[in-house]
């Protein structure tokens, strides 16, 4: 009896030993499947999340200069409606166009269609800076002009050559009303040579001239 009991116990142990690896393997396999499923699910979620963020970044990068500039663009200058004589004078020289608020507004409207309104905004900001006399105000306005139109990180950066940029960087060590004089002149020349001829042939100018020409003369 003792021998048969020992044999029975041995059989049970062998049976348990055979079942345990299988069960452990099954559990291990299940664990792997669970782990893989969890990992796969996590990776998918992570990928989806990353793709969403990346797509949002790319979408922001694709936004045009015009759309970015539209945020915080100052209002056009207040001015009375231009007369036919004034509009005709704009064709005589770029200086005459830029002398009047109405001329600057019309030209600025044209620049907006070419996504280069920052040139006029920069020129106007420099003109405003020249009117300041308070040192702290000058420094603050100079800093804002630099951040908005000179910094390569700004969507409203204007096109300046390296020499002018070096001058600005030196001037920014001690800002004054004339910190951006060289840059302002370069942008003024750029608008004169590049944008002004196209403005004179644009629908904006021609339509304005036509509407004033057809306007009945008041007695």
The SS3 call for residue 158 is coil
Q: What is the pLDDT along the chain (219 residues), one digit of tens a residue?
A: 544 555 555 555 555 444 444 444 444 444 444 444 444 343 444 444 444 444 444 444 444 333 433 333 445 778 789 999 999 999 999 999 999 999 999 999 999 999 999 999 999 999 999 999 999 999 999 999 999 999 999 999 999 999 999 999 999 999 999 999 999 999 999 999 999 999 999 999 999 999 999 876 554
8 is a domain residue:
no
Angle between helix 162-171 and helix 181-190 axes, rounded to 10 deg: 150
Exposed/middle/buried for residue 25 (C-beta within 10 Å: 0-12, 13-18, 19+): exposed
122 is a domain residue:
yes
The SS3 call for residue 138 is helix
d(CA 58, CA 36): 32
Q: What range does the domain containing 115 cover?
A: 92-213
192 is a domain residue:
yes
d(CA 209, CA 196): 16
106 is a domain residue:
yes
d(CA 140, CA 137): 5
d(CA 146, CA 171): 11
158: CATH: 1.10.167.10
74 is a domain residue:
no
121 is a domain residue:
yes
Q: How many domains does the chain have?
A: 1
Structure tokens of 135?
Answer: 């040192």
104 is a domain residue:
yes
107 is a domain residue:
yes
């Amino acid at each position: 009896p003792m021998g048969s009991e020992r044999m029975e116990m041995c059989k049970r142990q062998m049976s348990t030993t055979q079942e345990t690896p299988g069960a452990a393997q099954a559990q291990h396999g299940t664990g792997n499947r669970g782990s893989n499923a969890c990992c796969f699910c996590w990776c998918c979620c992570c990928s989806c999340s990353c793709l969403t963020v990346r797509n949002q970044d790319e979408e922001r990068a694709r936004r045009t200069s015009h759309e970015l500039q539209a945020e915080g663009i100052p209002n056009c200058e207040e001015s009375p409606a231009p007369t036919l004589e004034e509009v005709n004078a704009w064709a005589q020289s770029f200086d005459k166009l830029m002398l009047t608020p109405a001329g600057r507004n019309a030209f600025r409207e044209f620049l907006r269609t070419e996504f280069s309104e920052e040139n006029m905004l920069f020129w106007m900001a420099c003109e405003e800076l020249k009117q300041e006399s308070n040192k702290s105000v000058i420094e603050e306005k100079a800093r804002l002009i630099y951040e908005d139109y000179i910094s390569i990180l700004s969507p409203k950066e204007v096109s300046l050559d390296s020499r002018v940029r070096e001058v600005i960087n030196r001037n920014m060590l001690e800002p004054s009303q004339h910190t951006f004089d060289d840059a302002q002149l370069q942008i003024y020349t750029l608008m004169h040579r590049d944008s002004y001829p196209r403005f004179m042939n644009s629908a904006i100018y021609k339509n304005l001239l036509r509407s004033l020409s057809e306007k009945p003369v008041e007695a």
